Structures are given as C-alpha cells and as structure tokens.
Structure 1
Amino acid sequence: MYSDSDFILSNYNSIETASFSWSAPSNIALVKYWGKKENGDQIPANPSISFTLKNCKTITTVVVSSKVEKDTFSFDLLFEGQPKEDFKPKIQKFFERIETYCPYLKDYHFTIDTQNTFPHSSGIASSASGMAALAMNIMSLEKAIQPEISSDYFYAKASFLARLGSGSACRSIIGNVVAWGKNETIKNSSDLFGVEFVNIHSNFQNFQDTILLVDKGEKQVSSTVGHNLMHNHPFASQRFDQAHDNIAKIVSLLETGNVTEFMSLVESEALTLHAMMMTSMPYFILMKPNTLEIINRIWKFRNETQTPICFTLDAGANVHVLYPENVKEKVLQFIQDELVGYCQNGQYICDEIGNGAQNLK
C-alpha cells in the first residue's frame, strides 16, 4: 500500500526530448462519489466504484523538450490541433498540485495535443478521461528519467496524479471495475488512488452502456460546487454511511452475478446522488423533464419484457443505460423506438466496459 510520500520522486535522470501518447476513457460510477473531505487534497468523503468505459475516451500526445530556464512551468496546449487558451489555467493548476511529486516538470517544455472521441460539448464530462490521459503521459516521462520504477508503482502513481486533476479521473487508469476511497470491503482500497476490482462474475463481462444525450449544454451548477455543498448538507453523514454499505453490497453482487439486485442498487445510487443535489442549500436540479421520461420508459419496458436493463446518472441530465451484451439487439431497438426522441438532436453513444488507459506509442 502506497502513501503519498512514496510518490515523491527524488532521484532521476534527464533527457533532451521525447514523445508519448496515451488514450484514457471516461468512467461511470455505480456507487457515487459526491463530497470531498475538508482541508483535503481531492480526498473523497465516501468511497465509490465505477465501470470503466471503452469508446468515450481522450487521446493525448505529449512532446517534451529540456529547457535552460527551470523556474516556471512551460507548456502549449492544443485541443483537436488548435490552441485552446481557456484550458491552460486548469493545466497550470494541475502542474502546481503535482509538482511536489513530479519535481522534474519545470525542467521541460510540454506540447500537449489532446482530443476526445466523443462529440465536443456533448454533455459527457471529459475531465476524468482528459486528466487520466495527461497523467499517463507524465508517468511515461517519469519512466523515461527513472526506468527502475515498477509497473505497479507506475499505474498507482498515475491514478494518484489523475486524482489531483479531477477526482474521478483516478478511476480511468486501469481495470474494468475500479474502486476509489478507503473502505473495509475492498482490499488495499485507498483515498489516494483507484484500485482495480478483479473478482467480477461473467454476467458483467462486456456489459453495455448506451449514453442518451438529453442535454448537451453547460450545467447550471458545476460538480466542484456540488461537492462543496456536501460540507453542510443535512443528510451528508447518512449518505456517506450509505455509500460504504452500498460498496459492500455491490461487491457481493459483482462477485455472485446477481444482475437483478445490481440494477436496483445502481438505480437507487443514481437517484440518491440527485436527491443530495435537491436537498443541499442552495438546492438545484440537474435532471431535465426528458431524463424523467426516459427513466419511466425504462421501468415500463423492464417490467413488461423482463429485460435486464437499468439506468444510472452522473451529475447531469444524461442517462446511461446499462445492460448485458446478450440483450444488446433488443435494447438498442427499444432505444430507437422509444427513447431517441427524448435525446437532444436524437443523439446517443454506444459504449461498453473497457480496460482503462492504453499506450499508443
């Protein structure tokens, strides 16, 4: 088990120039992370567990070159090949947060070229995939200047760094199912980085996630603000206890392959997340009328056909439709017949469980 001090690199070599390229996917939480510990550095108030996605990902290439002046961070940022100045403050803040652990950052000029496989402004959060992909590239640089680091250390520190950029990004590094947050159920679980959960029943292999794009606009309340509103939330302590209980429950369901109870727990978690938003002060609602229409039609379809299909939600209006691969044709026909009309411009994205970040070079 690594502590944060284990990730402080002290001895390393130097290189003149190098190029790295990684993809990293988004993920969808099954047990939700909502709330951060006060005075912590992106430390979750409760544990979470997620499916890693496969197709919705960020592809990032980083070219580094050594520089003489080593007193400031130096980087250029391109998004889909074009300069993206409004992204630069987030990268600057990320470098500042991780400098203690990556003291070599000021030794190099970084050219960061990034793109998403999913439509820009589609309503799918790209912070998790984006920060995970950047963290993997930084760790490739670290491996180049300190070749002795182990594979286990490489991925654990990548998750640790990604977390400092965007909390849920730590769940996009490695594995089909990833847990983040210290809890009694999952061995070696940590608040500092995500850990792969491997004992998954065959019923959940190749599980599908079709993302219905209900609202592609900017959220009225950001996730950062929403997390902070949990500090004085009247139901915060009960919610955090519930999350620990639900981690234990969902781990058992993932191991035994009980899809029916899995669906109930996942839907309950999604609605609880939005209940926390609606009962904070100030309160807010991120679901849209079409979100509720989709949920009700999913329930009706499931009851009438006994098809194993459920929904989950992130901190927004879009609906993730989860189902086993063996009912894919039936579910996609249902989406075409009954749900696509509730999607903005009829848009949806077909995805499935993936394995995490991929080295492209």
Structure 2
Amino acid sequence: MTEKGFILTTYNSNIDRGSVKWSSPSNIALVKYWGKKEHQIPENPSLSFTLSDCKTITEVTYTKKSGNDFSFDVFFEGEKNEAFKPKIQTFFERIELYMPFLRDYHFKIETSNTFPHSSGIASSASGMSAIALCLMSIEQELTSDVISTERSMSDEKSQMYFNQKASFLARLGSGSACRSIEGELVVWGKNESTESSDLFGVRFDGEVHPNFKNYQDAILLVDKGEKQVSSTVGHKLMYGHPFAKERFAQAHQNLAELTKVLASGNMKGFIEIVESEALTLHAMMMTSMPYFILMKPNTLEIINKIWAYRAKNDSNICFTLDAGANVHVLFPKAEEIKVYEFIKRELVAYCQNGHYICDSVGKGATPL
C-alpha cells in the first residue's frame, strides 16, 4: 500500500451528525525507534508489545457545519482542554489529504486514560491512535452507501485496509501510535526480517513461542513529571549524531535476532536484546548534542535490583525503558506471583508515591 492508496476520493456529505467511540492501548517497544525522517518515517525499524490495560478511550461526535476551517473542541477527563488543540490542529493539517471531510464537520473529541494523568506514561501512542480510529469509523459511515474500491473488498481485506489506514493516520499524529492499532506484537519500519512498512504498523508475522505468550508488564512510576526533553526534540538530535549510522544498523540486527528468539523461546536471548535496546536508547540521548539524561537515580536503583534478583533466583525478569525515567518490568506469566512480591518488597520504595501499574500484553484497539 502506498500513500495514494489511502486518499479518500468519494464520500456522502449529506450525513448531518454521528458519534463513534474507540479504546486504544499504549505500547512498549522492545526494539526502539529513535530518529525519524520527514513525514514521520522511522530511521530504523521497531518491534513492540501492545499493552492491555493502559489505554485511551475516545469518543468523537461530529456535526455538519458551514465554513471551511477546521473546527473541533477537545475534552480531557470531562474538562475542556485547550492545551491539546495545537497538536490536533497539526494532526488535521497532516491528514486532510486522506480525509477531505475534516473541514465539513465540527468535532467534539472527548478522551480519557485508564492510567493516571501525568503518571509519566507516554499517552501520545494511545491517544493519537484512538483519534485516528474514530476518524476511520467516521470515514466508514460516510462511505457506507458509496460504491468504492475498498467497499468491494472482502470483509477480511476491508478490515485490513481499515487497520492499515488507521495506523497510517496515527503515525502522522505520533510515530509510535501506529503500533497501537493491533497486537500482540507489532513491527513498524522496513526491514529484511519481517513483513513490514514505513507507513504503518504491521502485526508481527513470525512464530511466537509459548514462553512469550501472556507476557506481563509492571510499569514502575519513578517520575511523574514532564520530561525535560520532548521525544520530538530527541528524535531530531539523531541528525548528525556521531553514532546514528551504527545505531540504525544495530536496530536492524537486533530485530533479526529477536525474531529468532521469539520463535525459539530463548528467554535469556530475549533479556539480552531487550535490555541492551533500552540502554542503547538512553546512550544515544546521552551522546547527542545537546546531550541529556532522562533516567533518574531511582531508575538505576531499580535496574540494579532487577539484575540482582534475576541472578539470585534464576528468574526471567527483565526491564525496558521508554524515553523517560519509568521502568517497564517484563516477565512471563508463570513468574507473576513471585515478581509482584519482589516489586512490593524491594522496588516500590523507588517509585514516586509508591505508584506502579500492573499490565500485560494485549490484543489491540477495540470499538466501543
């Protein structure tokens, strides 16, 4: 599929109003995306676990209007939120070519998260994917009685088109959002190891050993404050980075190795790749110009505690990090009871206000 394949050419402009609602999850990358080209195209491929419970619930009500300007209001947790409007405005401008009906309607966007606001969990992936899915449902309603190429497809192909375009649109709002449409594992970025695309996330098509089914993710909230450097700024610092070329090659190699690990069930190999990827992400931040550190002292304390616990208990627990201070503790379902005892006993003390979130790998977004 190319960009042109996502351009909507015909729709029913006589529909006056309607409402759609979606729930879309966050995701956590195992192989990290850091650095992007124009139009939200990744410099390297990434592979992520889709989460189950950390999600955004968004309802979009659309009403026919006059005039040619974009018109929308955003409500977060029931309160009107002006701070979100510039990002939505930019998003609409980027996707207008693919959804020309955006100027025909006023949109009331009501959104909320199942995880605490300002918890330090990046909500752009779940938030932008939820909006993209709502807009795709509106497109579906506006084209339900219009004869078009996609309407003549089989149900399976029609659903594939829906998901691909939703992911494509979500990417233009937030790169990682394209990995939140489906689950359990999603690849984004062209590579030689898996079916993939730079334009949208693709459900991982490789074999997955039972060892990696029902994987758990405990998110330890080390720092709930706003990051000192936004991800957008961080990505731009990969331009001219002295180690960028090597990093992009490393991501391709790690993705190739991880596909083998997922098929074989090699949990030690999984740990090595996932933890190395997390530390490499932060190493790139610390060696950019300007350089910055998003990990906190308690982040390092938790990592060292995890390493000690793993060695002592022959455990398969490991960690990964996003572009922030919080720690995602990954472990198989079989170790759930023991690991949560360990978290309560030794790691909660390093979490801000003792807060952490229990989650697991999920199946992707769902209409409500």
* Alignment TM-score, normalising by the size of structure 1: 0.97
2:367 aligned partner? 359
Residue identity (%): 66
Q: Secondary structure at the match of 2:325?
A: coil
- What is the correspondence of 1:23-38 to structure 2 with a 5 Å cutoff? 23-37=23-37
Structure 2 partner of 1:237? 245
Q: 1:337 aligns with which of 330, 335, 345?
A: 345
Spell out, residue by residue over 1:243-283, the C-alpha distance to the aligned partner (whole angstroms, 9 max, x if none). 00011011111112111110110000000000000000111
The 5 Å alignment of 1:200-279 reads 200-279=208-287
Distance in 1 (CA, whole Å) between partners of 2:85 and 2:252 is 36
Spell out, residue by residue over 1:110-158, the C-alpha distance to the aligned partner (whole angstroms, 9 max, x if none): 0100000000000000000000000000000011112327111100000
Q: Which moved more, 1:126-135 or 1:11-20?
A: 11-20
Aligned equivalent of 2:296: 288
Map 1:88-237; keep pairs closer than 5 Å. Answer: 88-147=85-144, 148=151, 150-187=158-195, 189-198=196-205, 199-237=207-245
The one-character-per-residue Cα deviations of 1:158-212 (angstroms, maximum 9, x if unpaired) are 000000000000000012000000001112x110000001432111111000000
> 1:316 offset after TM fit, Å?
0.3
Quote the offset at 1:91 in angstroms.
0.5
Q: In the aligned structure 2, how far is the partner of 1:333 from the partner of 1:291?
A: 19
Matched, 1:321 2:329: yes
2:39 is paired with a residue of what secondary structure?
A: coil
Alpha-carbon distance in 2 for matches of 1:64, 1:136: 14
Quick one: distance in 2 between partners of 1:164 and 1:80? Answer: 24
Find the counterpart in structure 1 of residue 41 from structure 2. Answer: 43
AA at the equivalent of 1:21: K
Q: How far apart, CA to CA, are the structure 2 residues paired with 1:180 and 1:249?
A: 16
Give structure 1 stretches of 5+ with no counterpart: none
1:90-120 deviations in Å (ceiling 9; x for gaps) = 1011000000111111111101000000000
**Distance in 2 between the 1:153 and 1:256 partners?**
31
The one-letter code of the counterpart of 1:49 is: L
Matching residue's letter, 1:29 = A
> Which residue identity is paired with 1:196?
R
The amino acid of 1:11's aligned partner reads T
User: Which amino acid in 2 is paired with 1:26?
Assistant: S
Moved more, 15-24 or 145-154: 145-154
Question: Given residue 82 of structure 1, which amino acid in structure 2 is its aligned partner?
Answer: E
Distance 1:112 1:226 in 2: 28
The answer to whether residue 19 in structure 2 is matched with residue 12 in structure 1 is no
The one-letter code of the counterpart of 1:119 is P
State the partner residue of 1:66.
64
Aligned pair count reads 355
1:45 Cα shift?
0.5
| 1:68 shift after superposition | 2.5
Q: Does 11-20 or 141-150 show the bigger shift?
A: 141-150
Separation in 1, partners of 2:264, 2:12 = 48
Larger deviation: 224-233 or 142-151?
142-151
Deviations 1:319-342 (A, max 9, x none): 000000011000000000000000
Aligned amino acid, residue 289 of structure 2? M
Letter aligned with residue 219 of structure 2: I
Letter in 1 for 2:307: W
1: CA distance between counterparts of 2:250 and 2:315? 28
Aligned structure 1 segments of 4 or more residues deviating by more than 3 angstroms: none
Q: AA paired with 1:287?
A: M
- CA distance in structure 1 between the aligned counterparts of 2:56 and 2:129, rounded to whole angstroms: 9
C-alpha distance in 1, partners of 2:220/2:99? 39
